[in-house]
Amino acid sequence: MKVLLINPPIYDFSAYDVWLKPLGLLYLSNILKSCGFEVVLIDCLDRNFFPHLIPKKDGTGKLPSVEVEKPEILKNIPLKYKRYGISQKDIYNLLSLHKDANYIVITCSTTYWYLGVREIINCVYEVIPKPKIFLGGIYPILSFKHASCLFSNKTTKIFYTTDFSELLDFLNIQHKKQYKNFAKFPPPDFSHYKKVYYITTRFSYGCRYNCVYCGQKIIHPKYETKDIEQFVNEIKFLYETTKCQNFVFYDDELLNSKDITTTVELFSKLLNLSLPIKFYTPNGINPKFITKEIAQLMYQLNFTDLRLSLETISDKVHKIVDRKLTISDFEQALNNLFLAGFKPSQISAYILLGLPTETIEDVYKTIEFVSKYKIRIRLCELAVVPKAKMFKHISEDIDPLLHNNTIFLFNGVPGVIEPLYKFDELQQLKTYVNQTNKLLTNCYV
């Protein structure tokens, strides 16, 4: 039996390969292989297809793009709309090599990227006779009604959980119930990539906080971790089989908020491997749990480009969002990191734009506060996350294209949420942050 796993192209105003891998599909690949399936991956964002786009040292890099016509609902947005990834011709060619696939599993990791799914499904229908298609990922979990209306039919089944047991049932693999738990997942399967620029992985899945803007509680309600020994062996295996030196944690709660000794044990065991690798934390880490010991371990482990989730320094906003940390927690974490040996150039702070009751003055004050420490500022614009507490009132009938974080703050959700900022105001803010970061970069030299 042959299964074709597909990561679709992206339609968006901007996209960049910042450690973008279809991690769910890569876990699924090894699960299916362990059940005797032949597995093929078509990753439309695999940069091996574009060797002319040289990756950065950390493995990230540009994705090729072409401008496309904006969908009607985005016509008023004063930005170019693009398609990112391999060409449609290449998709047809790749699919035609696998006309004998028994099942096709497509993922979609963001609600407003469903146009890529539509393109893939249309291509599949043209090339593969009588396909059996499964659609999973964050899009159907958060926008199930939309995904069902658009794609569900006799040949396409929609999944809305992050465990694979339902899918495995459909494939008649009833005895593999253990894959209901993330803790039992095998390592992600990177054997599909000719050259591996970076490895993405998770020690944990889920998060015990419940921030008002976040969908993690819906995506993966339970907080689970792998067995430490098993995970450390996975890292060793992934390094030995790929020789890749960039390891990216997708964890949302990497530093265990209930028992930091677990994290100390994990990091100590990773350190014992003595591998020449670097670790990255794109989802941000909660500074509250960066103790002196954790900071030292992270330094010894070569955590690079450390991203701290500050969000805002406004106490009133923090109280509404979910009191994850105080300003003194953040300052203490920075002290611990500097003491351990980190340089300001290796650290950055996420500042969120669009939080409830947050004003533009709050944002500027937070920027001033962060730049005092000479660490980099990363502005994050909120996206609409259906079913998150803050967006509960947003109907599932709203087109997910309007969830896009590039447009939400100045476009709002017409008829439901007023725009929070003017377009020019946002541009000004971004320019200010770029200039501030540039000044910091100059002082690192």
Site residues, ligand SF4 (CB under 6 A): 207, 209-211, 214, 216, 252, 324
CB of 309 to ligand SF4, least distance (A): 7
- Of 33 and 324, the one with the shorter C-beta distance to ligand SF4 is 324
> How many angstroms separate the Cα of 429 from the Cα of each of 353, 381, 422, 424?
10, 12, 11, 9
How many C-beta atoms lie closer than 10 Å to residue 257's C-beta? 16
CB of 189 to ligand SF4, least distance (A): 25
CB of 283 to ligand SF4, least distance (A): 7
C-beta closer to ligand SF4: residue 193 or 303: 303
Q: Give the nearest distance from C-beta 431 to ligand SF4 in angstroms.
A: 27
C-alpha–C-alpha distance, residues 148 and 400, integer Å: 13
> Which CB, 250 or 279, lies closer to ligand SF4?
250
Q: In the structure encoding, which two tokens stand for residue 138, read together? A: 């964050």
Q: CA-to-CA distance for 92 and 115, rounded, in angstroms? A: 17
The single residue listed with the structure tokens 């959980």 is 161
Instruction: Decide whether 124 or 388 has the Cβ nearer to ligand SF4.
Output: 388
- Is-contact 82 41, C-beta < 8 A? no
Query: Minimal distance in Å, beta carbon 159 to ligand SF4?
Result: 21
Strands of 306-311's sheet in order across? 306-311, 347-353, 376-381
Tell me the backbone φ, ψ of residue 280, rounded to 5 degrees: -130, 150
Q: What angle do CA 133, 135, 140 make, to 5 degrees?
A: 155
Report the residue number, 117 or 325, with the smaller CB distance to ligand SF4.
325
Identity of the residue, 210 or 241, whose beta carbon is nearer to ligand SF4 in the bound complex? 210
| Other C-beta atoms lying within 10 Å of the C-beta of residue 135 | 26
Q: Report the C-alpha gap between 372 and 375 in whole angstroms.
A: 8
Helix segments in 257-358, DSSP class H: 260-272, 292-300, 315-321, 327-340
216 or 245: CB nearest ligand SF4: 216
Beta carbons within 10 angstroms of residue 191's beta carbon: 14
Q: How far is the CB of 19 from ligand SF4 (least distance, A)?
A: 16
Write the CA distances from 294 to 217, 303, 376, 387, integer angstroms. 26, 11, 21, 34
At closest approach, how far in Å is the CB of 378 from ligand SF4? 14
Instruction: Please identify, using beta-carbon distances, which residue of 216 and 406 lies nearer to ligand SF4.
Output: 216
Shortest separation between residue 251's beta carbon and ligand SF4, angstroms: 9
